[in-house]
Amino acid sequence: MNFGLKRKYSKYNLNGRVFVVSVDGSDHSMAAFNIISENILTPEDKLYAVYIYNSRKDQDYNYRNKSQIIMEKYSERLSFMDPNQTCLITEDRDGSYHPLVQIEGIARLNKANYLLCGFYGMRGPVGDNMELSRGVNYLLRNCSEPFIIVKDEAIRNERINQQLNWLFVFDKYFQKPTSILDKFMPLVSVNTDYVLGLTMLPSYIVTCDVENEFRYAMEVNQVEKYDYVCEYYEKSPSTFINNLVNFGEIRFDFVVIFNSNYKQIVDFAFQENSQIILRANANICVWNQGTN
């Protein structure tokens, strides 16, 4: 197993990070597992693969989504890893609003630093888009851990230098949007990855102090490849962000966004961030402000 020992992490890096990955029968779920186990996990970290099955409906699912098949697949993958570092947790669905309710509860119990789930896996074994909407809704309104929704199955594989491209979005509509640096810079390899800082300014804001803070963070952490841009918007920052990600020159692997659950702005945050999660062709990283 390659623990990424040649990668130099940012000074934000945490010792002994805990990753909780929601696993199921989807390719995106396997991609989430692979991103952590093959690209990010270090010998000091822990990885919990969590599978929520539904015993009442298991016989109705196709072969690929049957609980026994999924458990065997991830048990085999984990058998090649350090048993002191990894664990497969399985639970029967308890009737919650969405399986992610149970998974996030397990993440809290194990004091996870990050929660990962697959985009298509959030739709459930029958591909229900309403189930996907419920999963996105739950994460944005309730998840207390920084979370990553995995949508890209081919991350890093075709690149000779193993570079990941990160887009950090700082929307000045929110208070302290740069706090996403504290949460997700620990996953950035400062000697291989590329980081673009993008500040989105509402039209009524004249001055902005984000650039100096961003450049200082990059220099302190010795990030070798980074840029910064600033854009104004009238109503919908998500439109610009999605166009940049989907049609821009750079193929971004991760888009990092800030979400707020403060009462005054929760509806705006939910609407805009939902559009990015659903429409941007990249893995989406989110930090929720105001969750407990």
Distances 241 to 183, 199, 225, 238, 252 between C-alpha atoms, Å:
20, 10, 21, 5, 11
| Structure tokens that stand for 290 in this block | 């105001």
3-state secondary structure of 274: helix
Listed range (10-19, 36-45, 211-220, 233-242) with the worst mean pLDDT: 10-19
HSE (CB half, 13 Å, CA atoms) of 211?
8
Q: What is the pLDDT of residue 225?
A: 95
Pair of tokens at residue 200: 């989105």
Supply the DSSP symbol for 58: G
- Residue 127, Cβ density class (10 Å: 0-12 exposed, 13-18 middle, ≥19 buried): exposed
Band of pLDDT at residue 6, cut at 50, 70 and 90: very low
Strand pairing class (46-53; 18-22)? parallel
| Structure tokens belonging to residue 246 | 């989907």
**How far is it between the farthest Cα atoms of the chain?**
60
pLDDT of residue 3: 37
According to DSSP, the residues that pair with 169 across neighbouring strands are 198
Residue 7: the pLDDT is: 53
Mean pLDDT of the 108-118 span: 96
Please calculate the CA angle 248-152-144 and round it to the nearest 5 degrees: 100
pLDDT value of residue 235: 81
For residue 5, is pLDDT > 50?
Answer: no
More confident of the two residues 166 and 161: 166
Q: For 140, phi and psi rounded to 5 degrees? A: -70, -30
Segment 79-98, tens digit of pLDDT: 999 999 999 999 999 988 89
Average pLDDT for residues 24-29, to the nearest whole number?
92
More confident residue, 16 or 158: 16
Interatomic CA distance for residues 268 and 151, integer angstroms: 24
Predicted local confidence at residue 2, as pLDDT: 37
Laid out side by side, the sheet with 114-118 consists of: 86-92, 46-53, 18-22, 114-118, 147-150, 283-289, 254-260, 165-171, 194-202, 225-233
Compute the distance between CA of residue 12 and CA of residue 9 in angstroms, rounded to an integer: 8
Report CA dihedral (229, 234, 235, 240) to the nearest 10 degrees: -30
For residue 292, the model assigns a pLDDT of 56
Mean pLDDT taken over the chain? 87
Contact 55, 67 (CB under 8 A): yes
Q: Kindly state the percentage of the chain with pLDDT values over 90.
A: 60
Residue 162 pLDDT class (50, 70, 90 cuts): confident
pLDDT at 161: 72
Task: Domains for the chain: give ranges and CATH numbers.
Answer: 18-150 (3.40.50.620), 165-289 (3.40.50.620)
Q: Model confidence over 190-236: pLDDT tens digits?
A: 888 999 999 998 888 777 889 999 999 999 889 999 999 999 988 88
